[in-house]
Amino acid sequence: MSNLEQIEAAILSLPSHEFAKLRLWLLDLDYERWDAQIEQDIEDGRLEAFAQEAIAEFQAGHCREL
């Protein structure tokens, strides 16, 4: 049995309240990793083209209030 299969089996055996805590922990971890990836992409300049495009669209008046 692989590590992943062992983890899956352990998760399936959790009581509801512990599963809920695990779920929240995983969501928080996912958000933290997403934030770190975005920060790295910004630092590496991967989002610069998108930023310039958004600024140009805004300056051209192609926006609306949400």
Q: Has this prediction a pTM greater than 0.85? A: no
φ and ψ at 12, to 5 degrees? -65, -25
pLDDT of residue 60: 96
Domain spans of the chain?
Answer: 3-59
What was the pLDDT predicted at 44?
97
pLDDT of residue 66: 84
**How far is CA 47 from each of CA 13, 38, 41, rounded to the nearest angstrom?**
42, 9, 6
Quote the CA–CA distance of 14 and 56 in Å, as a whole number.
51
- Does residue 64 carry a pLDDT above 90? no
